[in-house]
Structure 1
């Protein structure tokens, strides 16, 4: 919202029109997600849905949205099927890397850098866990690493102690946490209580300093995750510094990795809209999105670009690994290693 205010203020909007941004809270809930989509489409008569958030809410609403022929662009949900059905759901285009893409990169990294190590995975019994586990299996080289156990848990569970104990007892020396930040933190703490200190990998949903609210930097040090854009802690970077100024000047929230990603969504939406000035229709917007090739903004990592087509709705398919480091008593995330590129 802050970025759209900036565009309205400094550029008069897009194609000579101000951007009117309306929001409905879906609470990442199936019933509320469908109701929120209906309100925006039928009550507010929005031109397009931009940057919607949540896997469960999208699963409930995407059939309805596509039946209505409303652009559902740069959706922020990682379930792989949302990006791989351009024929059946042509109006939906996610942006963030899918959980399958991320899991594949983690598996590839393990086999390239930790050959011979036994791997254990903890995954939520839901779309995120299923997709990330599938990706992990795709990425692991079975000649180099064995996935000795994959432990699932319900999102309603009170504890994952038994699952972590099973992971330890499997003889694994690598633990991959395919779940949200709170569960990752609980898993690492349980492992420490059991005296088990494997190499740690965790979903990109945990690639933020918020993790240090769930688990101590000492236990997180060395943990590896994945991301594709610059971090809010990179304040010496000119693009990140401008982001801080923009959030301050246009009433945005405190800068974080989440606000940087949100500005990316806004920048890409403005790019797509700017290509529709001669055909400002919903069909024209989708054509514009599908014409985007090797798009880059300074908030993305070098060599990370965005490309769409009418047969490829997977947004970010590249990125680099992040490692938790503790320097001078301060914990944070640092990029390292080569660029990973997903091959479907």
Structure 2
């Protein structure tokens, strides 16, 4: 009798487990024990400061793997150097998709590089998600690019926020603008110009730089000579730091607005000189890792424990550290929600149905929300001001409207 009961229970187990096993659905790069995730960032070249993004994501996935992975599967993180070069990004992306056969690309960095691979990835139907760029083109046409989704606030929206703040608080300002001569610089600067609208004449001087330029000294001297009393710094970290330092060295005293991608205390403001950085204005959506206001915040305690163990030599005042940590939290959520349906279709279904998701890196009141027709997860920011050795938030959370 006991043998018959055990046999019957065994049969029931087989029947019960059969459908569950059949429900497993895997895309490329997925097995019962592994999920391959692809990435490229500039570990070398003029934008190598951004290499921190790939490093912290890798450290986060190592932490997850040490805890058993996601739903029992370890993350195989394949992160390659594209040197901030679009042709190199194309080469690395093809390697990841065709040779490594990754499930998806995550946090690939840079507007020019992501632009170069977007059509290829959408043709191949490979998720290109939470990419490290706020390029407006990556989220403004989900029908044409259904497999692409950025993590950052769209750059044009950020530009509009600065324009609104200027008009509301300094309506008679004479503005000088430094921007990158690439897709990123043109994108955020368009947001500023659109936001100023009829007040576009407030811009009295503008200059650009190329990533190959050794300095921006001549551009800063030119902008100062225009008589501008406000400086809008729309630059990537290396050049933003050089601009801030040069402004301090020549004794120019404009109101300075610094774009979000270059607000890292460790990577930008310290090299520029904290004495030259006092009073900088910006807008952001993430917490400042060194702000004592967060010392009792549960999420920041977890972040600090993570850094202590998995990236002990990094400067946590580098905003890219917390930024990358929050993006990795987002991917962890998506993969957990996917369960055993780790198909590319299901990954995008989950990524385009986020409702009120709040990685611990985000400022209070800012959440991630998406839909099939809305590929901009974060659309809110708050104004910040640099004082002493840290950023301080002020004013309300602002919805970054795209229209």
Question: What TM-score, normalized by structure 1, do the two folds share?
Answer: 0.91
Contact kept, 8 Å, 1:276 with 1:285, in 2: the verdict is: yes
Structure 1 residues 163 and 246, CA, compared in 2 at 3 Å: closer, same or farther?
Answer: closer
Match of 1:284 among 337, 341, 346: 346
Structure 1 residues 165 and 146, CA, compared in 2 at 3 Å: closer, same or farther?
Answer: same
Contact kept, 8 Å, 2:135 with 2:154, in 1: the verdict is: yes
CA shift, 1:252, in A, is 6.5
Counterparts of 1:162 and 1:250, CA distance in 2: 41
Match of 1:267 among 329, 334, 339: 329
Structure 1 residues 144 and 31, CA, compared in 2 at 3 Å: closer, same or farther?
Answer: closer
Q: Deviations over 1:269-323 (max 9, x none)?
A: 1211222225321101101111112211232111111111111111221111221
Contact kept, 8 Å, 1:116 with 1:145, in 2: the verdict is: no
1:7 aligned residue: 64
Match of 2:113 among 57, 63, 73: 57
Contact kept, 8 Å, 1:94 with 1:314, in 2: the verdict is: yes
Counterparts of 1:4 and 1:153, CA distance in 2: 36
Contact kept, 8 Å, 2:215 with 2:239, in 1: the verdict is: no
Contact kept, 8 Å, 2:132 with 2:150, in 1: the verdict is: yes
CA shift, 1:159, in A, is 4.1
2:305 aligned residue: 245
Counterparts of 1:155 and 1:71, CA distance in 2: 29
Counterparts of 1:88 and 1:252, CA distance in 2: 42
Structure 1 residues 159 and 251, CA, compared in 2 at 3 Å: closer, same or farther?
Answer: closer
**Local SS of the residue matching 2:98:** helix
Contact kept, 8 Å, 2:288 with 2:390, in 1: the verdict is: no
1:198 aligned residue: 254
1:339 paired with 2:397, answer yes
CA shift, 1:143, in A, is 4.9
Counterparts of 2:288 and 2:248, CA distance in 1: 28
Computing the radius of gyration from Cα coordinates, the structure with the larger value is 2
2:361 aligned residue: 299
1:223 aligned residue: 280
**Local SS of the residue matching 2:342:** coil
Counterparts of 2:111 and 2:153, CA distance in 1: 13
Contact kept, 8 Å, 1:115 with 1:145, in 2: the verdict is: no
Structure 1 residue ranges, 4+ long, deviating more than 4 angstroms after superposition: none
2:49 aligned residue: none
1:318 paired with 2:380, answer yes
Q: Which structure is higher in helix share? A: 2
1:127 aligned residue: 183
Contact kept, 8 Å, 2:381 with 2:400, in 1: the verdict is: no
**Local SS of the residue matching 1:21:** strand
Counterparts of 1:31 and 1:308, CA distance in 2: 31
Match of 1:102 among 152, 158, 180: 158
Question: What TM-score, normalized by structure 2, do the two folds share?
Answer: 0.78
Match of 1:179 among 212, 235, 248: 235
CA shift, 1:98, in A, is 2.5
CA shift, 1:115, in A, is 1.9
Structure 1 residues 19 and 122, CA, compared in 2 at 3 Å: closer, same or farther?
Answer: same
CA shift, 1:77, in A, is 1.6
Q: CA-atom RMSD, angstroms?
A: 2.1
- Structure 2 unaligned segments of length 5 or more: list them: 1-57
Counterparts of 2:164 and 2:397, CA distance in 1: 12
Q: Deviations over 1:233-289 (max 9, x none)?
A: 136133222112123334576234212111111111121122222532110110111
